Chain A
């Protein structure tokens, strides 16, 4: 992921740096449409962003999955039932909101470092909360997907049986 981010950063930096030097030479005219160097480099940057962005997203998803699984296992514990996992995730999200509501005023009351401390708590809880929300969304997706797949399989089997009869 780091390699892809660096390549993307370097490529975009390169595009932005060489574009002013190539401005006098680059000017494409197709019929009535005129594309100057700025437009061409913006298009190239966009292509680079899509290409490398895709790989970065895949890596981010991998890390998000891993992190959310670790956080969920840490807060919720081992659980096989998806429905129960969803319920536990909801409980953890509620507990995090309550924890923030309880801790933030206490932290703000601390002299000198009160405000930064409250912000740090907010960021920490928000980060854990986001990971749990991601985990919850994943569980809901898999649960729905499994159910829909089972339903489709049953319907297809039923229809194919009817056809063969």
Chain B
């Protein structure tokens, strides 16, 4: 067998394992990385004396450090009770019907996901929504489903909002401010359109309360820790924005701020370490090795040639098509491997088809983030939302999910498609 066929088989095996979820995704990726190393040695892609150096050179350490740093930072801020504080405060301010409160909660979900992982955002917002729904004696199921969808919109907002953003930014050398300039306006536009749709879709809520009796400050356990964590968090954002002037890699900034928050803004570093999504970190690291193997064995070039021929049919529509393919694939498989596989392929396509690489990068960011909402297993936040609803005795089927989400996600993807065409023209 040729080296290309062997690596195609490894890739196919990993895809089947990821789709069927037979193993945890990190375990599936570790199996793939191990096979890549073993066959790499057998076919002369890696050399035994320098194997460790060769394998480590395939891993993008900057992205890994950035992901770890942002996760620690977000977890520390979330633990101070900041997001519950904002949520409760806003709900108290708005009052009225559960529909109005739902819209506020949904919009807040987008902004929270801009800073914390979708899992953390969904857990916080899910708990808050259920507690408020009980006060209103309303059904929270629709609101929770829409919150899950909006966490994926929130993932578009900033460079640190989701792992695909970090990967694309690191590989295409995108700046923090570029996300603010390009991705943030789309996220806001989609949020606005989605809020309108959800407002109509939620319909009239039977119960309404004139005033919610709750003091938001009760959710803040320790005010001094809260203030310190907030100062470090805001400093991290400022440092990300002014990274160019500082000249430091993003990973280093994120890790530095994470160390600061662990030392000053948190009382329980051990517990923060245990709640970090180490599975994602292992998955990310292993997948870098798999992608490296695919690149060295010529599989990616083969795929790129195929995709390049498709791109020649209509180069203007290609970024949009790329976004839809990315979104559809993200609804079944995790968006991290899709982004990682597509980045080197898009580099080839951009070089030969003369399509701006940045546009292709944005189309991947939009598709990978938004596509997760298409199915209940497309994104971690969707899985958590389904779990919350099951615990509340309101299980949701795949059919119901499609009925509730497909129109909204289609609107979001259509808006993103027009936005890509606008970026191409600009």
Give the B-binding residues of A (Cβ under 8 A).
84, 87-88, 90-91, 94-95, 97-98, 101-102, 105
Contacts and interface: CB of A to CB of B under 8 A. Distances in A.
B42 A105 contact: yes
B175 to A, nearest CB: 41
Contacts of B12: 94
Contacts of B35: 98
Interface stretch (B17-25, B88-96, B411-419): B17-25
Interface size class of B (residues with CB under 8 A): 10 to 19
Interface string B22-44: 10000000000001001100100
Would you call the interface of chain A mostly helix, strand, loop, or mixed?
helix
Given A102-B39, A102-B42, A97 B20 contact: no
Contact of A87 (B6, B10, B16): B16
Contacts of B39: 98, 101-102
Contact of A91 (B6, B22, B42): B22
Given A101-B39, A102-B39, A102-B42, A91 B16 contact: yes
A90 B13 CA distance: 8
Given A94-B9, A94-B13, 16 more contacts: A87-B16, A87-B19, A88-B20, A88-B22, A90-B16, A91-B13, A95-B13, A97-B1, A97-B9, A98-B6, A98-B9, A98-B10, A98-B35, A101-B1, A101-B6, A101-B39
Contacts of B22: 88, 91
Contacts of A102: 38-39, 42
A90 B22 CA distance: 13
A102 B10 CA distance: 12
Contacts of B6: 98, 101
B237 to A, nearest CB: 43
A3 to B, nearest CB: 42
30 contacts: A87-B16, A87-B19, A87-B20, A88-B16, A88-B20, A88-B22, A90-B16, A91-B13, A91-B16, A91-B17, A91-B20, A94-B9, A94-B12, A94-B13, A94-B16, A95-B13, A97-B9, A98-B6, A98-B9, A98-B10, A98-B13, A98-B35, A98-B39, A101-B1, A101-B39, A101-B42, A102-B38, A102-B39, A102-B42, A105-B42
A103 to B, nearest CB: 11
Contacts of A97: 1, 9
Given A101-B1, A101-B39, A105-B42, A84 B10 contact: no
A102 B17 CA distance: 20
Contacts of A105: 42
Contacts of A101: 1, 6, 39, 42
A90 B38 CA distance: 21
A87 B10 CA distance: 15
B390 to A, nearest CB: 19
Nearest to B43: A101
B366 to A, nearest CB: 29
Residue among A84, A87, A88, A94 with most chain B CB within 10 A: A94
State the 7 A-B residue pairs at the shortest beta-carbon distance, nearest first: A91-B16, A94-B13, A87-B20, A94-B9, A87-B16, A84-B20, A94-B12
A27 to B, nearest CB: 58
A101 B5 CA distance: 11
B41 to A, nearest CB: 10
Contacts of B1: 97, 101
A98 B38 CA distance: 10
A88 to B, nearest CB: 6
A91 B39 CA distance: 18
Contacts of A84: 20
Nearest to B19: A87
Nearest to B10: A98
A105 B12 CA distance: 23
Nearest to A102: B38
Interface in B342-372: none
A121 to B, nearest CB: 15
